[in-house]
Structure 1
Amino acid sequence: MKKNEFILNLSEVGINDIDSVGGKNASLGEMIQNLAQLDVRIPGGYVITVDAYEAYITHNNLQEKIRAIVKATNLNDIDALRHCGLKIRRMIAAGTFPDLLTSQITEAYAALSALYKQTNVDVAVRSSATAEDLPDASFAGQQETFLNVSGADALLIAVRNCFASLFTDRAISYRESFNYDHFDIGLSVCVQKMVRSDLAASGVAFSLDTESGFKDVIVINGSYGLGEMIVQGAVSPDEFIIFKPTLKQGYDAIIERKLGSKDKKMIYGDTADERVKIIQTSNSEFNSFCITDTQVLQLARWVVIIEKYYSGIKNRWCPMDIEWAVDGQSGELFIVQARPETIHSRKRHNTITEYAITDNTRADKLILKGIAVGDKIAGGNVNILVAQGKDEISHIDFKKGDVLVTDMTDPDWEPIMKMASAIITNKGGRTCHAAIVARELGVPAIVGCGNATEVLKQGQLITASCAEGDAGLIYDGTIAFKEILYNLDELPETATPVMLNVASPGMAFNFSHFPNKGVGLAREEFIINNYIKVHPLALMQHQQLGDAKLTAEIEEITRGFKSGEDFFVQKLACGIARIAAAFHPNKVIVRFSDFKSNEYFNLLGGKYFEPTEENPMIGWRGASRYYSAKYKEAFGLECKAIKLVREKMGLKNVVVMIPFCRTPKELLQVYESMNEYGLRRGEDGLEVYLMAELPSNVILADEFAKHIDGFSIGSNDLTQLVLGLDRDSALVAHIYDERNEAVKTMITMLINSAKKAGVKVGICGQGPSDFPDFAQFLVEQGIDSISVTPDSFFKTVNAIHQIEEKLKDEEVLMMREAV
């Protein structure tokens, strides 16, 4: 581009023009030039260049005045920072445009209006700083955006205010934090045709998981109306997660749907003085997802295209942070911004930090839940902040290490947020302002808590934990934990595949960084207990039970889903899919539900369907339920969920496992039930494993092996049934030991039978996790794989490596002796 050009069409600029048009505008222009041909839609517009900003500053003789004000200010003093920023912004906003710049801005606006066949086209006026989207610092959102600007006079005011926003308090504070010279940064402005998302929906999308850095997913947040409500954290948005590898293969790879709490939306105002306004959403909007699956998948495909393009430009993986909008008039989807993500793209994953909580009584201290941002734990005294004006910020008594608790954060609070040990909000989702800033500062945040400002008390000592999955947990007082750092480069390789036992879908992406060979046990019970919470038969039959309270509870829980059955299938499928995606393409062995009757009883509505058994541990559980007329319909929902994961989402790495199957005849009866619901062993590569946890599974291993693809030893139940004890009884707990010779003999027998039959045999019970010497015993017996809990993964790998090296040495010695 030419020197001293004030106005350029977006289509004339590209990624090499950051110094002239800022990162945001350069990115938009780059996409218009190169991605429009791939059907990625970006609204048209034009750029007011950095030259124009500098001409404005020079015309009004502001440069030396600004330098003097900044130089005279202690920018670490919040009150001084506020006065500094306010004075500079007022000076800039009070300036006048050079005549040439005025005419060029208004002429370009007239041309844009003519292009869209409007007298005064409605535009978004967005700031674009030259350092805003650089990879080594995230300045995104530090300058202002003005929506629904209409008319030349209003446009000129908005442009002046954009210029002034280069010196917001938070922008000044950020530049100081990252050691940027205030005068090495220029400001450009984008004047872009508004997408009428006030009549539809808008939001943000990331081409990675924002909490774990997992590369293979796209995270989409959306809400009704203009997108500012999500960024501000004023609503808890809908969330969708899409798995990239199977999306690229043509599958409908939406592996997560979470209905948000979208009680309000921002729309166009009614007068020139009221450009936008906030109204309540309708009951239908509140109870519905803001975009369709078709739109989710279209947006996801565009995100993949954009990420691939930028990664090619930069010759490295470049995850993207994207803003999108649906036009309510045309129904079309648009990309309105795209910038490189700047947090996880800079991290190396050769080290893993584990926050091991050692407080086993913490469940009694839990007082509140929300959405976890980050994976850390921090504590401190509660400091509740209500809505604060800029003038009040400097007078807040906020001490370093306090926990900031508020309804939603304000961008002007960032100097305060830097002092917080943790941030907790009533509102917001994973892409709101509080979440973005918390990630940049490296502090844990828990957003969308609902009533944190009411439940928590000023000065209360609390602990905020983001280390336990998707849910952020807030505990009263302190909880004991230790921080453990693992260097993956120091972890030895093993010949025996080491897999993971993964219960929580919310932790799966975090565990994906472990150098594992898949998942040896994914338990459906965790998903049902924590994500579904209702007895499956109650979901299908609650209206026939005559329990109005139960029906009301179920209708609230299933809000946004077609039916109770749809809710169960979708929720279970998404939980399984999230684990399967995290470890793809390695096998993920999903065990069908194995609740005991007393555990099913405790689910909502369970009392209507569960018997009272004297000893549920050896009663109506596992396989015996799946073909029973009293439960088979509920088991059918599990089969439908597995089909959805494998066939619609494309996660063929899912293997199913049948637990507590007493006889070969019972196994065949389970197959009949599976077939009835369309789930057939061998069809489309489906493998079926048997949980080897009963003495009969070992004794009749040759017969069972004819009908399965593998055994997985459940050492917990096998130990109690071989030794004839109740593992829940404290009176005989001292006898319970997987390393008992009787148990080890049974395991050896099973491994030998499996080898003879040519089927795989692994272990997923607790034994190898608790006892490294037990893992060594399994290696000596020639087991095909060992699956352990994540917290024991590293010690188990080291133990296995040691025994493998010992066995190698013994083998070499025997060979030498033979010679």
Structure 2
Amino acid sequence: MVQQRSRSDRLTIWFEEVGRDDVGCVGGKNASLGEMVQRLASKGIRVPPGFATTAEAYWGYVQANGLQEQIQDLLSELDAGKTALAETGKAIRQLFLRGDWLENIANAITIAYRELCERTKTTEVDVAVRSSATAEDLPDASFAGQQESFLNVRGEKALLEACRRCYASLFTDRAISYRRTKGFDHLSVALSIGVQQMVRSDLGGSGVMFSIDTETGFKDVVLIDAAWGLGENVVQGVVDPDEYQIFKPLLSNSAVVPIVGKKCGDKALKLIYAAGEKPTRNVPTSKVERASFVLEDSEILTLARWATFIEAHYGCPMDMEWAKDGRTGDLFIVQARPETVQSRREATSFKSYRITSTGRKLATGLAIGDAVVAGRVCLIEDPGRIGDFVDGSILVTQTTDPDWVSIMKRAAAIVTDHGGRTSHAAIVSRELGLPAIVGAGNATAILHGEQDVTVSCAEGTHGFVYEGTAVFETETVDVANLPETHTQVMLNLASPAAALNWWRLPADGVGLARMEFVISNHIRVHPMALVRYDQLQDQAAKLAIADLTVGYADKTEYFVDRLSRGLARIAAALYPKPVIVRMSDFKTNEYAGLLGGAEFEPPEENPMIGFRGAARYYSPRYREGFALECRAVRRLRNDMGFSNVVVMIPFCRSTHEADRVLEVMAENGLRRGENGLEAYVMCEIPSNVILAAEFANRFDGFSIGSNDLTQLTLGVDRDSAELASLFDEQDEAVKWMISNVISAARKAGVKIGLCGQAPSDHPDFAAFLVECGINSISVSPDSFIAVKRKIAEVEAAAKVGGHDERE
């Protein structure tokens, strides 16, 4: 057994004996492990057993080998500019590697290791040996990845050698550089070593987890990255991992499965155990592994719940590493530290970038950050040519590791071929405040040195590299200072990828979520081509659909799954406020453009007023496709838990048509009033205004579509360049229509809003709507602040406030 001594002079200590207040003794990483063992085991959270060497052991090693003065001399030469960082770091590390163990320190480590073997009932237990600096994992500084970890270490001799190498890694080039930047005294920081039983994730999977969205700072999601094998591949960005997003507020409801995002990464490699000198090696994954998710839904939810428990205990967003044992199926948390980037951003400060003009799109990947940067490409494919980097350039490379940090700090933006949201490039870019695009696939093949490009991370979860210098605008507003309004101001959203960008805006909900955008961008297949896949004549489309639906035994499930998750991201952004989802409103020519769509769409001379909207939903041509839309919304509300979703029917020409559509919806499990379901109708046809009272008897609310209503009121094709001057949403006839339907809705006691572009473009039009007594105005996010301010001015001028008959 370990000799019982006072905590201050002990050389090893078990995880269950330390907690979060023991950073000075065992470093941030080990203190956190001990804290979880002590405080969170009751929540079901598993941490592999192990022990830590103490700061006392480190200082004993330094003193016994006379290292302190030698280190100080080498660092002084570096500070004086007499030596380079790489030269200094290597020299200090060699001092540690040549050092000898004091007998008492070596004995303490080996005795603890033997006890760990006894505890795990293993002759020579395989362990992970991880560094834990006494200044790391602080809320205002992350030392992640700067010291070394060693996996699959077995036996006393191998353990002591790994510990020696851990000590040396306190002076990696990146660690020296980071401490200098953050103002930490090199010789005041000690290193503790965590020795922890290995989770056999080489036979299972592992990854990284955040209790906050790493790109937008949205605090209501857990983000999990997962890959097969040991976790270093995910941390270092060697593979493109699976990515799961889970909505935290619904995790307490065991009846729902709030997984709002689920992407299968290619996971081309996995890190496994190896025999010989190197204890681990990378091997290619199988086709089945690449096409399969690492985690089952139940495991995803378990990890996400653990993340919320850990976050609640620490009182701040957390960055965690997890592993799944392939032999037992058990999940473990192997690290937990405070998240240091998004959690420190000012939550009420909103800076938005808006691209107004771009060149040709050259590359696409995952967006890290939300900024836009234009600059010149510096392409470096070989790490040996890091010295060729030009300050202020856009770094384009295959992947990065900690050795790249010195040039990443000098870049304007970063683009990598490989990596996910928790890869090295992503983590470092966030901390440096740099926009980055990771996992672009072929950026190094497409882009070339000295090329002028624009890197945009402001368009959602995907980032784009555009040719040339794009035109873009920025605005910074403290949304906490926006005025309150009685009239609700909501958002028009279409892209699930961009939805979480707008959580900081104090919007009253989503007034228009465009389903057709999700279908065209995230599904890309005509629903009827999935329903009748076996009958498709277009062989090229059939092959493309087969590729997209890999992993789905039922091809219609591909549509339902992708649509429900895409809409879930929009529903989550402003939950529990209402999110009005408009059922698909493609025109026939747009539907025909989807994969397989040409076989199911009739040719029309004027699709704008043809086979669109409500008429499709009960037609034999599309009824089965509409059933898939209903399945997706039913799953969204009932199975995923987003009961804040309201259904809206577009282009409903008559009350007879309304009855037929409501009947078909009910047949597909969407019955108005059941489970709190509300159904709205678009007001975009003159008949909707003329028969407003009758429509109000069938629906819970109206949403005025000012574009179509203007088109049909004035008889002007809104897409006609020749008639552009006649298309005016502020025409008196259009305003008469709007005024009358608002009056009718108020009289009937149903809600009414407007979701057209006019309030965004014309503040005076917004004023007109407020004066008419509209309940809500839904605008594009980039117009929200201006419209909110204008409405506040109008309400103040009219002395609108307190009780209002509109409610």
* Correspondence 1:167 to 2:171: yes
Question: Structure 2 matches for 1:594-613, cutoff 5 A?
Answer: 594-613=585-604
* Correspondence 1:58 to 2:63: yes
Task: Quote the offset at 1:770 in angstroms.
Answer: 1.0
Task: Provide Cα deviations, 1:369-399, integer angstroms capped at 9, x if missing partner.
Answer: 000000011122211222425xx64xx2211
Amino acid at match of 1:606: G
Task: Provide Cα deviations, 1:753-809, integer angstroms capped at 9, x if missing partner.
Answer: 111111111111111111110000000000011111111111111111111111119
Report the Cα distance in structure 1 between the residues aligned to 2:541 and 2:577, rounded to whole angstroms. 41
In structure 2, the partner of 1:403 is 394
Amino acid at match of 2:601: E
3-state secondary structure, aligned to 1:727? coil
Report the Cα distance in structure 1 between the residues aligned to 2:737 and 2:440, rounded to whole angstroms. 49
Report the Cα distance in structure 2 between the residues aligned to 1:93 and 1:581, rounded to whole angstroms. 52
3-state secondary structure, aligned to 2:797? helix
Task: Quote the offset at 1:132 in angstroms.
Answer: 1.3
- The size of the alignment, in residue pairs, is 797
3-state secondary structure, aligned to 1:140? coil
Report the Cα distance in structure 2 between the residues aligned to 1:662 and 1:784, rounded to whole angstroms. 23
Task: Quote the offset at 1:493 in angstroms.
Answer: 1.2
Report the Cα distance in structure 1 between the residues aligned to 2:281 and 2:801, rounded to whole angstroms. 77
Amino acid at match of 1:397: D
Native 8 Å contact 1:74 1:81 kept in 2: no
* Correspondence 1:151 to 2:155: yes
3-state secondary structure, aligned to 1:356? strand
Work out which of the residue numbers 346, 361, 366 in structure 2 matches 1:366. 361
* Correspondence 1:689 to 2:680: yes
Report the Cα distance in structure 2 between the residues aligned to 1:290 and 1:117, rounded to whole angstroms. 29
In structure 1, the partner of 2:622 is 631
Amino acid at match of 1:403: I
3-state secondary structure, aligned to 1:611? coil
In structure 2, the partner of 1:331 is 329
3-state secondary structure, aligned to 2:312? helix
Work out which of the residue numbers 521, 537, 546 in structure 2 matches 1:530. 521
In structure 1, the partner of 2:776 is 785
Amino acid at match of 1:293: D
Work out which of the residue numbers 379, 383, 390 in structure 2 matches 1:384. 379
In structure 1, the partner of 2:805 is none
Amino acid at match of 2:128: A
Shift in alpha-carbon separation, 1:631–1:810, aligned structure 2, 3 A:
closer
Report the Cα distance in structure 2 between the residues aligned to 1:111 and 1:124, rounded to whole angstroms. 16
In structure 1, the partner of 2:215 is 211
Report the Cα distance in structure 2 between the residues aligned to 1:428 and 1:380, rounded to whole angstroms. 22
Question: Structure 2 matches for 1:659-808, cutoff 5 A?
Answer: 659-808=650-799
3-state secondary structure, aligned to 2:663? helix
Native 8 Å contact 2:213 2:219 kept in 1: yes
In structure 1, the partner of 2:50 is 45
Native 8 Å contact 1:127 1:162 kept in 2: yes
Native 8 Å contact 1:719 1:737 kept in 2: yes
Amino acid at match of 2:366: I
Report the Cα distance in structure 1 between the residues aligned to 2:80 and 2:121, rounded to whole angstroms. 48
In structure 2, the partner of 1:33 is 38
Native 8 Å contact 1:542 1:550 kept in 2: no
Work out which of the residue numbers 237, 246, 261 in structure 2 matches 1:256. 261
Task: Provide Cα deviations, 1:126-155, integer angstroms capped at 9, x if missing partner.
Answer: 000111101111111111110101111111
Task: Quote the offset at 1:560 in angstroms.
Answer: 3.1
Task: Quote the offset at 1:677 in angstroms.
Answer: 1.2
Question: Structure 2 matches for 1:238-253, cutoff 5 A?
Answer: 238-250=242-254, 251-253=256-258
Task: Quote the offset at 1:575 in angstroms.
Answer: 1.0
Task: Quote the offset at 1:74 in angstroms.
Answer: 4.3
Report the Cα distance in structure 2 between the residues aligned to 1:718 and 1:596, rounded to whole angstroms. 16
Amino acid at match of 2:463: G
Native 8 Å contact 2:8 2:25 kept in 1: no
Native 8 Å contact 2:479 2:504 kept in 1: no
Work out which of the residue numbers 3, 11, 14 in structure 1 matches 2:16. 11
Native 8 Å contact 1:259 1:560 kept in 2: no
Task: Quote the offset at 1:810 in angstroms.
Answer: 12
3-state secondary structure, aligned to 2:542? helix
Native 8 Å contact 2:457 2:464 kept in 1: yes
Amino acid at match of 2:346: R
CA RMSD, aligned part only? Answer: 1.5
Native 8 Å contact 1:88 1:167 kept in 2: yes
3-state secondary structure, aligned to 1:708? coil
Report the Cα distance in structure 1 between the residues aligned to 2:551 and 2:198, rounded to whole angstroms. 29
3-state secondary structure, aligned to 1:256? strand
Amino acid at match of 1:336: V
Task: Quote the offset at 1:76 in angstroms.
Answer: 8.1
Question: Structure 2 matches for 1:270-281, cutoff 5 A?
Answer: 271-281=275-285
Native 8 Å contact 2:377 2:453 kept in 1: yes
Question: Percent of counterpart pairs with the same letter?
Answer: 54
* Correspondence 1:288 to 2:292: yes
Report the Cα distance in structure 1 between the residues aligned to 2:186 and 2:552, rounded to whole angstroms. 51
In structure 2, the partner of 1:124 is 128
Amino acid at match of 1:252: V
In structure 2, the partner of 1:816 is none
Task: Quote the offset at 1:107 in angstroms.
Answer: 1.1
In structure 2, the partner of 1:180 is 184
Task: Provide Cα deviations, 1:215-267, integer angstroms capped at 9, x if missing partner.
Answer: 11111110100011111111111111111111112221111111111111000
Report the Cα distance in structure 2 between the residues aligned to 1:472 and 1:642, rounded to whole angstroms. 28
Work out which of the residue numbers 634, 640, 643 in structure 2 matches 1:649. 640
In structure 1, the partner of 2:204 is 200
Shift in alpha-carbon separation, 1:239–1:727, aligned structure 2, 3 A:
same
> 5+ unaligned residues in a row in structure 1: which ranges?
312-317, 812-819
In structure 1, the partner of 2:496 is 505
Question: Structure 2 matches for 1:476-555, cutoff 5 A?
Answer: 476-555=467-546
Task: Provide Cα deviations, 1:381-430, integer angstroms capped at 9, x if missing partner.
Answer: 211222425xx64xx22111111111110211100110111111111000
3-state secondary structure, aligned to 2:115? helix
Task: Provide Cα deviations, 1:592-620, integer angstroms capped at 9, x if missing partner.
Answer: 00000000111111111111110000000
Amino acid at match of 2:712: L
* Correspondence 1:305 to 2:309: yes
3-state secondary structure, aligned to 2:725? coil
Native 8 Å contact 2:321 2:336 kept in 1: yes
Report the Cα distance in structure 2 between the residues aligned to 1:242 and 1:335, rounded to whole angstroms. 17
Task: Quote the offset at 1:509 in angstroms.
Answer: 1.3
In structure 2, the partner of 1:814 is none
3-state secondary structure, aligned to 1:427? coil
Tell which deviates more after alignment, 34-43 or 20-29: 34-43
In structure 2, the partner of 1:314 is none
Task: Quote the offset at 1:546 in angstroms.
Answer: 4.0
Report the TM-score, using the length of structure 1 for normalisation.
0.96
Amino acid at match of 1:49: T
Amino acid at match of 2:371: K
Shift in alpha-carbon separation, 1:75–1:515, aligned structure 2, 3 A:
farther
Report the Cα distance in structure 1 between the residues aligned to 2:114 and 2:149, rounded to whole angstroms. 21
Task: Quote the offset at 1:732 in angstroms.
Answer: 0.4
Task: Provide Cα deviations, 1:307-337, integer angstroms capped at 9, x if missing partner.
Answer: 11111xxxxxx00111111100111111111
In structure 1, the partner of 2:352 is 354
Task: Provide Cα deviations, 1:187-228, integer angstroms capped at 9, x if missing partner.
Answer: 100000000000011011111101111011111110100011
Report the Cα distance in structure 2 between the residues aligned to 1:769 and 1:248, rounded to whole angstroms. 38
In structure 1, the partner of 2:341 is 343
Report the Cα distance in structure 2 between the residues aligned to 1:76 and 1:400, rounded to whole angstroms. 20
Report the Cα distance in structure 1 between the residues aligned to 2:382 and 2:641, rounded to whole angstroms. 47
Native 8 Å contact 1:289 1:560 kept in 2: no
In structure 2, the partner of 1:268 is 273
Question: Structure 2 matches for 1:805-816, cutoff 5 A?
Answer: 805-808=796-799
Native 8 Å contact 1:626 1:635 kept in 2: yes
Task: Quote the offset at 1:563 in angstroms.
Answer: 2.9
Task: Provide Cα deviations, 1:152-206, integer angstroms capped at 9, x if missing partner.
Answer: 1111111011101110011111111112111221110000000000001101111
Report the Cα distance in structure 1 between the residues aligned to 2:479 and 2:156, rounded to whole angstroms. 59
Report the TM-score, using the length of structure 2 for normalisation.
0.97
